[in-house]
Chains A and B, each alone.
Chain A
Amino acid sequence: MIKSAQSKVEYLVTYIVWGLSILLLLSMIFLIYKMVGPGFSTIRWDYFLSEPLNSGRSGGISSILISTLLIVGVCLFVAIPIGLGTAIWLTEFTTSQSFLGQNIRRSLDILAGVPSIVFGLFGNALFCRYLGLGFSIISGGLTLACMVLPILIRSIEVGIRSIPSEHRFSASALGLSTFSQLYHLILPLAVPGIVVGLVLGIGRAVAETAALVFTSGYVDRMPSSISDSGRSLSVHIYDLSMNVPGGESNAYKSVFVILILLFFLNTLTMFLADRLLARKVMNE
């Protein structure tokens, strides 16, 4: 068989691409092993069920898990309706050239890159002080919502814009109202974009540390309500590894829990998006 120069280049490129992928995969496996390994081997069920003792050196993380879920819950409860609404407004009610639409999009792109510490200080000033919510789960959740919204809106917008315009034209030609076009056609077809936005948003919310230190505080007791202060898992990990001598083993366990939590929340998101929206369309 004669190999031309071109086919040699093709072989080379194939090897490079494979090599890089394997390198990436190995480093991911190594990372997860290093993070999960120590926690996985020592974690017990009662770690999830008991409250932290002695600044978290012993005991569990029940109160922290509850606080985390409440903070993320408040964040999504606020961010999802506003995010969907804004994305729909940007795609359906403004043209891509309009002054308002263009500037809102630009602002969102800038906001998506703002460091979380800035959001934290903003949340502290607005929610904790100006609105008088104090260091509380609700302040933390609202601050996270502000952080998550730019990513959420832009992903949903891209999802909606990727829908072929023929669908809109034929729906309008059949006299379907804007509402039923959205409900039956546009949103179900935009599910991939919505899921991407939510997964990225949840990831950012669960991982957030700096913004929460300034807004939801870091007491580790069980929160009595959402207007009480609460410590999130990421803050707990930060505190155990930086401020509490002898906290490493429990920090590793929390790292394991946060990965499980992310996996669980993402799976739940995909499941719900499929159940609520994607079932309405049949692609094949």
Chain B
Amino acid sequence: MIPENERQIFKENFDNQNLAPKPFLQTHELSMSYRAKKAFHNISMPIHFGKITAIVGPSGCGKSSFLMCLNRLAEMIPDTQISGHIELDQNNLMKNGACTVALRKKIGMIFQKPSPFPFSIRKNIILPLMEHGQKNRRILNEKLEFVLKKVGLWDEVKSRLETSALQLSGGQQQRLCIARALALEPEILLMDEPCSALDPLSSAVVEDLMKDLSKDYTVVVVTHNLAQAKRIADYVAFFWVQEGAGSLIEFGPTKEIFENPKNPLTLSYISGFRG
């Protein structure tokens, strides 16, 4: 956990762009391979505190795999090898003894396909909280209401909290999943194309929500949608397949990537010539 005063300093640093921001999460030469195939290779990139970082690039360039490494979820996939390390608050996350349960409480994740559990709406949010030791019914109910309000779902579902979450529409399910992740009070939210399985209207709602969330959370979002990245992101990382493995081609503030890219590949991708 970062102390509140330091968090304030971080924010101020970003607000007056003069000081070089210190990355909150940093990967160092992170590589992942699945059986013999490399997913991505030697990726070193910073994730800045309180900002939205968008990862863009064509399909199969290791964006989602990279995201799943950040909360060590990629280890669940059989036959994967991961090397390099990830630093969060100067702690190496890849250390063998590091507690994944605590880590995943700190780093929430939203998947491409909305995946609420086949429980009631209430249980979807309360079960992870109870798992992490919260037993007080009053606090649980308060948190339930708080996070559902935060994702703008409260008015839509408050009268049917006991019905199955699977009855909700796709967009509502995705917002429920976001609420479920927020209930654990994470510091970082990883979002793997959270809008791509939704209809345009729901997609717009979720996108606004992401923008809103960046006030309180550090967000890393993988997206296919360049326009979306341009609209919401503070930083953009551009991935491309090089020598059979996903590589980080360019990283920088959104404005710079879109208006003045340094790498010719980035230029041709953002202007639609390639990818």
Contacts and interface: CB of A to CB of B under 8 A. Distances in A.
Pair from one complex? yes
Interface string A145-174: 000000000000000000010111111111
Contacts of A34: none
Contacts of B120: 282
Given A95-B79, A97-B78, A169-B115, A174 B102 contact: no
A175 B78 contact: no
Q: Which of B73, B111, B117 has the most CB of A within 10 A?
A: B117
Interface residues of B, number: 33
Contacts of A175: 100-105, 128, 131-132, 184
A184 interface: yes
B164 interface: yes
Nearest to B183: A174
B109 A173 contact: yes
Given A172-B73, A172-B76, A173-B73, A167 B115 contact: yes
B105 A283 contact: no
A17 interface: no
A175, A176, A280: which has the most chain B beta carbons within 10 Å? A175
Contacts of B78: 95-97
B166 A282 contact: yes
Contacts of B131: 174-177, 180
Interface string B252-273: 0000000000000000000000
Given A95-B78, A169-B76, A282-B166, A177 B117 contact: no
Interface string B165-188: 111000000000100110010000
Nearest to A175: B104
B58 to A, nearest CB: 23
Contacts of B115: 164, 166-167, 169-170
A177 B79 contact: no
Given A170-B117, A174-B180, A282 B164 contact: yes
B73 A177 contact: no
B98 interface: no
Sorted nearest first, the 4 A-B pairs with minimum C-beta distance are A282-B164, A95-B78, A175-B104, A173-B109
5 contacts: A95-B78, A97-B78, A174-B131, A175-B132, A282-B118
